Homo-oligomer: A and B are copies of this chain.
Amino acid sequence: MRVIRTASLQEMNEVGAQYLLGAMHTQHRTNIAITAGSTPKGVYDVMIPLVKDKDYFDNVHYYNFDEIPFKGEDGYGVTMTNLNKLYFDPANISREKIHVLDWTNYETQDERIAEDGGLDFVLLGVGADGHFCGNLPGTTKFGDLTSRVDEDATPDMVDVLLSEVGGVEEKRPDFYVTMGPKSIMQIKKLVMIANGKAKAGIVKKLVEGVVTEDVPATLLTTHPDFTLIVDAEAAALL
Protein backbone atom coordinates (compact mmCIF):
# COMPACT_ATOMS: atom_id res chain seq x y z
CA MET A 1 0.00 0.00 0.00
CA ARG A 2 1.28 3.38 -1.00
CA VAL A 3 -0.10 6.52 0.62
CA ILE A 4 0.26 9.81 -1.21
CA ARG A 5 -0.35 12.83 0.98
CA THR A 6 -1.04 15.88 -1.12
CA ALA A 7 -1.26 19.42 0.16
CA SER A 8 -4.59 20.33 -1.40
CA LEU A 9 -7.64 19.05 -3.20
CA GLN A 10 -6.23 20.39 -6.45
CA GLU A 11 -3.01 18.41 -5.96
CA MET A 12 -5.03 15.30 -5.15
CA ASN A 13 -6.93 15.79 -8.41
CA GLU A 14 -3.73 16.21 -10.37
CA VAL A 15 -2.05 13.14 -8.88
CA GLY A 16 -5.21 11.13 -9.50
CA ALA A 17 -5.09 12.27 -13.12
CA GLN A 18 -1.39 11.36 -13.34
CA TYR A 19 -2.26 7.80 -12.32
CA LEU A 20 -5.16 7.54 -14.76
CA LEU A 21 -3.17 8.96 -17.68
CA GLY A 22 -0.23 6.69 -16.87
CA ALA A 23 -2.55 3.69 -17.00
CA MET A 24 -4.04 4.85 -20.31
CA HIS A 25 -0.75 5.17 -22.20
CA THR A 26 -0.19 1.57 -23.26
CA GLN A 27 0.80 -0.13 -26.51
CA HIS A 28 -2.24 -2.39 -26.57
CA ARG A 29 -5.78 -2.23 -25.23
CA THR A 30 -6.14 -1.22 -21.61
CA ASN A 31 -9.27 -1.74 -19.51
CA ILE A 32 -10.03 0.78 -16.79
CA ALA A 33 -12.93 1.24 -14.41
CA ILE A 34 -13.74 4.67 -13.07
CA THR A 35 -15.86 6.00 -10.28
CA ALA A 36 -18.82 8.33 -10.31
CA GLY A 37 -19.68 10.67 -7.45
CA SER A 38 -18.48 14.01 -6.21
CA THR A 39 -14.90 13.08 -5.22
CA PRO A 40 -13.57 12.41 -8.74
CA LYS A 41 -15.10 15.49 -10.35
CA GLY A 42 -11.88 17.45 -9.98
CA VAL A 43 -9.84 14.58 -11.41
CA TYR A 44 -12.06 14.49 -14.48
CA ASP A 45 -11.88 18.26 -14.82
CA VAL A 46 -8.10 17.93 -15.04
CA MET A 47 -8.39 15.11 -17.55
CA ILE A 48 -11.10 16.27 -19.94
CA PRO A 49 -8.99 18.77 -21.92
CA LEU A 50 -6.14 16.24 -22.05
CA VAL A 51 -8.32 13.40 -23.31
CA LYS A 52 -11.07 14.97 -25.42
CA ASP A 53 -10.85 14.01 -29.10
CA LYS A 54 -7.35 12.60 -28.68
CA ASP A 55 -7.24 9.53 -30.88
CA TYR A 56 -4.11 8.32 -29.11
CA PHE A 57 -6.40 7.17 -26.32
CA ASP A 58 -8.42 4.90 -28.62
CA ASN A 59 -6.76 1.96 -26.86
CA VAL A 60 -8.65 2.72 -23.65
CA HIS A 61 -11.79 0.78 -22.74
CA TYR A 62 -13.93 2.06 -19.89
CA TYR A 63 -16.06 0.17 -17.39
CA ASN A 64 -18.43 1.30 -14.63
CA PHE A 65 -18.42 -0.82 -11.49
CA ASP A 66 -21.88 -0.25 -10.04
CA GLU A 67 -25.30 0.93 -11.14
CA ILE A 68 -28.56 2.07 -9.54
CA PRO A 69 -31.65 2.00 -11.75
CA PHE A 70 -34.18 4.80 -11.91
CA LYS A 71 -37.43 2.97 -11.20
CA GLY A 72 -39.61 2.70 -14.25
CA GLU A 73 -36.92 3.87 -16.65
CA ASP A 74 -35.03 1.80 -19.20
CA GLY A 75 -32.08 4.11 -19.95
CA TYR A 76 -28.91 4.73 -18.03
CA GLY A 77 -29.02 4.45 -14.26
CA VAL A 78 -27.63 6.81 -11.64
CA THR A 79 -23.96 5.89 -12.06
CA MET A 80 -23.77 6.01 -15.84
CA THR A 81 -25.83 9.21 -15.93
CA ASN A 82 -23.32 10.74 -13.56
CA LEU A 83 -20.28 9.42 -15.44
CA ASN A 84 -21.73 10.66 -18.73
CA LYS A 85 -22.10 14.13 -17.25
CA LEU A 86 -18.78 14.24 -15.40
CA TYR A 87 -16.52 12.62 -17.98
CA PHE A 88 -17.78 10.55 -20.89
CA ASP A 89 -19.73 13.36 -22.59
CA PRO A 90 -17.39 16.29 -21.98
CA ALA A 91 -14.39 14.11 -22.92
CA ASN A 92 -16.31 12.88 -25.98
CA ILE A 93 -15.56 9.21 -25.32
CA SER A 94 -16.89 6.89 -28.02
CA ARG A 95 -19.78 4.69 -26.83
CA GLU A 96 -17.96 1.75 -28.40
CA LYS A 97 -15.29 2.09 -25.73
CA ILE A 98 -17.71 2.13 -22.78
CA HIS A 99 -18.69 -1.25 -21.35
CA VAL A 100 -21.81 -0.62 -19.35
CA LEU A 101 -22.64 -2.65 -16.27
CA ASP A 102 -26.32 -2.57 -15.36
CA TRP A 103 -29.17 -4.66 -13.98
CA THR A 104 -29.52 -6.61 -17.23
CA ASN A 105 -26.00 -8.00 -17.33
CA TYR A 106 -24.50 -7.88 -13.84
CA GLU A 107 -24.59 -11.65 -13.48
CA THR A 108 -22.00 -12.02 -16.25
CA GLN A 109 -19.88 -8.94 -15.40
CA ASP A 110 -16.95 -10.84 -13.89
CA GLU A 111 -16.98 -13.36 -16.70
CA ARG A 112 -17.10 -10.69 -19.41
CA ILE A 113 -14.24 -8.80 -17.80
CA ALA A 114 -12.16 -11.96 -17.66
CA GLU A 115 -12.84 -12.53 -21.37
CA ASP A 116 -11.67 -8.97 -22.06
CA GLY A 117 -8.36 -9.83 -20.38
CA GLY A 118 -9.17 -8.48 -16.94
CA LEU A 119 -9.26 -4.91 -15.71
CA ASP A 120 -5.89 -3.15 -15.61
CA PHE A 121 -6.77 -0.17 -13.44
CA VAL A 122 -9.53 1.23 -11.28
CA LEU A 123 -10.07 4.68 -9.79
CA LEU A 124 -12.13 4.41 -6.62
CA GLY A 125 -13.64 6.74 -4.07
CA VAL A 126 -14.36 5.80 -0.47
CA GLY A 127 -17.22 6.66 1.84
CA ALA A 128 -16.85 7.93 5.39
CA ASP A 129 -18.32 4.56 6.42
CA GLY A 130 -15.66 2.69 4.45
CA HIS A 131 -17.82 1.70 1.49
CA PHE A 132 -16.38 1.51 -2.03
CA CYS A 133 -18.40 0.89 -5.20
CA GLY A 134 -21.73 -0.30 -3.85
CA ASN A 135 -20.10 -2.33 -1.09
CA LEU A 136 -21.66 -0.76 1.99
CA PRO A 137 -21.08 -2.09 5.48
CA GLY A 138 -23.57 -4.88 6.03
CA THR A 139 -24.45 -5.40 2.38
CA THR A 140 -21.59 -7.35 0.95
CA LYS A 141 -18.97 -9.85 2.01
CA PHE A 142 -15.27 -9.77 1.12
CA GLY A 143 -15.76 -12.86 -1.03
CA ASP A 144 -18.55 -11.41 -3.19
CA LEU A 145 -18.22 -10.99 -6.91
CA THR A 146 -20.59 -8.73 -8.84
CA SER A 147 -24.02 -9.01 -7.25
CA ARG A 148 -27.37 -7.42 -6.57
CA VAL A 149 -28.12 -5.63 -3.32
CA ASP A 150 -31.78 -5.36 -2.37
CA GLU A 151 -33.64 -2.71 -0.40
CA ASP A 152 -33.85 -4.95 2.64
CA ALA A 153 -30.08 -5.54 2.80
CA THR A 154 -29.70 -3.09 5.69
CA PRO A 155 -32.17 -1.12 7.82
CA ASP A 156 -31.40 2.15 6.07
CA MET A 157 -31.07 0.90 2.51
CA VAL A 158 -34.43 2.33 1.46
CA ASP A 159 -33.18 5.75 2.49
CA VAL A 160 -29.90 5.21 0.66
CA LEU A 161 -31.72 4.30 -2.53
CA LEU A 162 -34.05 7.27 -2.19
CA SER A 163 -31.11 9.59 -1.72
CA GLU A 164 -29.35 8.20 -4.79
CA VAL A 165 -32.27 9.20 -7.04
CA GLY A 166 -32.47 12.69 -5.60
CA GLY A 167 -35.22 12.01 -3.08
CA VAL A 168 -37.88 11.41 -5.73
CA GLU A 169 -39.93 8.54 -4.33
CA GLU A 170 -41.38 7.51 -7.71
CA LYS A 171 -37.89 6.92 -9.06
CA ARG A 172 -36.64 5.00 -6.04
CA PRO A 173 -35.49 1.52 -7.10
CA ASP A 174 -35.62 -1.47 -4.81
CA PHE A 175 -32.09 -2.67 -5.56
CA TYR A 176 -28.76 -1.84 -7.16
CA VAL A 177 -25.88 -3.84 -8.61
CA THR A 178 -22.19 -3.61 -7.83
CA MET A 179 -18.92 -5.30 -8.44
CA GLY A 180 -17.96 -6.96 -5.19
CA PRO A 181 -14.81 -6.72 -3.08
CA LYS A 182 -13.39 -9.82 -4.73
CA SER A 183 -14.12 -8.40 -8.20
CA ILE A 184 -12.23 -5.22 -7.39
CA MET A 185 -9.31 -7.10 -5.84
CA GLN A 186 -8.81 -8.90 -9.19
CA ILE A 187 -7.85 -5.62 -10.86
CA LYS A 188 -4.11 -5.16 -11.47
CA LYS A 189 -3.76 -1.65 -10.05
CA LEU A 190 -6.08 0.08 -7.57
CA VAL A 191 -6.07 3.81 -6.89
CA MET A 192 -8.36 5.42 -4.32
CA ILE A 193 -8.87 9.14 -3.75
CA ALA A 194 -10.19 10.80 -0.59
CA ASN A 195 -10.49 14.44 0.34
CA GLY A 196 -12.05 16.60 3.01
CA LYS A 197 -12.45 16.42 6.78
CA ALA A 198 -15.30 13.94 6.56
CA LYS A 199 -12.86 11.35 5.20
CA ALA A 200 -10.16 11.80 7.85
CA GLY A 201 -11.55 9.00 9.98
CA ILE A 202 -11.78 6.39 7.26
CA VAL A 203 -8.34 7.35 5.93
CA LYS A 204 -6.90 6.78 9.40
CA LYS A 205 -8.50 3.33 9.51
CA LEU A 206 -7.12 2.41 6.11
CA VAL A 207 -3.60 3.45 7.06
CA GLU A 208 -3.69 1.76 10.45
CA GLY A 209 -4.16 -1.46 8.62
CA VAL A 210 -6.96 -3.30 10.38
CA VAL A 211 -8.91 -5.32 7.83
CA THR A 212 -12.56 -5.91 8.66
CA GLU A 213 -15.76 -6.50 6.74
CA ASP A 214 -17.39 -3.78 8.87
CA VAL A 215 -15.25 -1.30 6.92
CA PRO A 216 -15.25 -2.81 3.43
CA ALA A 217 -12.46 -0.66 1.94
CA THR A 218 -9.97 -2.04 4.45
CA LEU A 219 -9.70 -5.16 2.29
CA LEU A 220 -8.09 -3.12 -0.47
CA THR A 221 -5.12 -2.31 1.78
CA THR A 222 -3.99 -5.91 1.30
CA HIS A 223 -3.82 -5.59 -2.51
CA PRO A 224 -0.28 -5.78 -3.96
CA ASP A 225 -0.72 -2.57 -5.95
CA PHE A 226 -3.00 -0.24 -3.99
CA THR A 227 -2.43 3.51 -3.76
CA LEU A 228 -4.40 5.90 -1.57
CA ILE A 229 -4.22 9.57 -2.56
CA VAL A 230 -5.47 12.05 0.06
CA ASP A 231 -5.57 15.79 0.53
CA ALA A 232 -4.44 17.53 3.71
CA GLU A 233 -7.86 17.48 5.33
CA ALA A 234 -8.38 13.79 4.72
CA ALA A 235 -4.88 13.19 6.14
CA ALA A 236 -5.55 15.21 9.27
CA LEU A 237 -5.64 12.20 11.61
CA LEU A 238 -2.54 10.46 10.27
Taking Cβ atoms with an 8 Å cutoff, the residues of A that contact B are 2, 4-5, 14-15, 18-19, 21-23, 25, 27-29, 50, 56, 114, 117-118, 141-143, 145, 181-182, 185-188, 209-212, 218-219, 221-225, 227
Contact = CB atoms under 8 A, between A and B. Distances in A.
Given A5-B56, A28-B114, A209-B182, A143 B18 contact: no
Copies in the complex: 4
A18 B27 contact: no
Given A29-B117, A143-B222, 5 more contacts: A18-B25, A21-B21, A21-B22, A143-B221, A187-B224
Given A186-B224, A188-B224, A25 B29 contact: no
A28 B118 contact: yes
Given A143-B209, A182-B209, A25 B227 contact: yes
Contacts of A117: 28-29, 117
Contact of A27 (B56, B118, B181, B185): B118
A19 to B, nearest CB: 6
B182 A211 contact: yes
A95 B209 CA distance: 33
Nearest to A50: B14
Contacts of A23: 22
A223 B221 contact: no
Contact of A185 (B4, B188, B222): B222
A18 B29 contact: no
B181 A222 contact: yes
